[in-house]
Amino acid sequence: MAGQTSFPRNFEKQKTAFWRDLDRTVARNFFQAYPSKLQPSLELILDALSDRPRDERLHILIEILRERLPVRKLRTSGEDFKPHASNDAEYEVWASAMLGIASAQDALGLEDEAERTTRIMINNGPHGEKDLGAQYSLAWRMEEKGRYGEAEEMALECMEWINGHRRCGPLSPQAICLWRLLIKTAWKSGRRALAEERILTTRDLITKMSRSRFAKYAQKEVEELVVTTVGLAKISKM
């Protein structure tokens, strides 16, 4: 799967004027669409555009990424179509560029366009399969929009994928992140008991995480869970 399967966690945003007020995620998802050898020349192009307003710079990123997109025959939800093998060779380029476009659209507040871009990714995964990496991202967007049922359904499907992923597994940061999402969907949809149960499960998983190959992320996950639970408690008091 593509989309966010590599889950880069140590990316540092460039400290240049172009990126001064743009989110780290936008920068990360832009640059991961290009091989490292091309990034210095891209920076030179962007530096020359540093005086442009924030929204114009985001539109520039989208246009640059669109030029990066290989031509692919796309399918919509429900269509039984598998991309041609020659297109599959370019799939990673296409998926990375689409992810960058969706991130920039999000930053512009173009929620419907970002959702549409992400759903195109989901419906056009490699070898005609669903792109669960893109769905992982969209699940969070659905939660933010208050579409808790859709978010939960997507997250549960992604959880099975993450748990079996060779780079991840049930004790990975990506899995714990999904548990936080599932806590939110349960709590905000009025299923408080289920949310509390999921909080306990997440705490137990983080404890096990501290003794796993993902141990270095455990403290950060403890802090993130606290932020989540405190935030939900505040919502309940409003």
Report mean pLDDT in 10-residue bins for the chain, 238 residues: 44 83 92 89 94 98 90 52 50 88 95 93 85 93 95 97 95 98 98 98 98 97 97 85
pLDDT at residue 75 in the model: 53
pLDDT at residue 86 in the model: 41
Both 139 and 151 in one domain: the answer is no
The Cα 210–Cα 217 span in angstroms is 8
Both 137 and 166 in one domain: the answer is no
pLDDT at residue 237 in the model: 74
Both 171 and 237 in one domain: the answer is yes
C-alpha torsion sign, points 168, 170, 173, 179: positive
Both 115 and 233 in one domain: the answer is no
Both 7 and 99 in one domain: the answer is yes
Structural domain total, the chain: 2
pLDDT at residue 238 in the model: 67
Both 87 and 183 in one domain: the answer is no
Q: Which of 120, 145, 170 delimits the end of a domain?
A: 145
Q: Which domain holds residue 235?
A: 147-238
pLDDT at residue 163 in the model: 97
Both 128 and 162 in one domain: the answer is no
Both 138 and 68 in one domain: the answer is yes
Both 139 and 205 in one domain: the answer is no
pLDDT at residue 2 in the model: 36
Both 137 and 30 in one domain: the answer is yes
pLDDT at residue 80 in the model: 42
Q: Which of 112, 145, 178 delimits the end of a domain?
A: 145
The Cα 5–Cα 119 span in angstroms is 16
pLDDT at residue 180 in the model: 98
Both 51 and 129 in one domain: the answer is yes
pLDDT at residue 79 in the model: 43
Burial of 21: CB neighbours in 10 Å, binned 0-12, 13-18, 19+: exposed
For the beta carbon of residue 116, count every other beta carbon within 10 angstroms: 12
Q: Which of 111, 128, 145 delimits the end of a domain?
A: 145
Among 15, 70, 24, which residue's Cα sits nearest to residue 46?
15
Both 115 and 102 in one domain: the answer is yes
The Cα 107–Cα 104 span in angstroms is 5
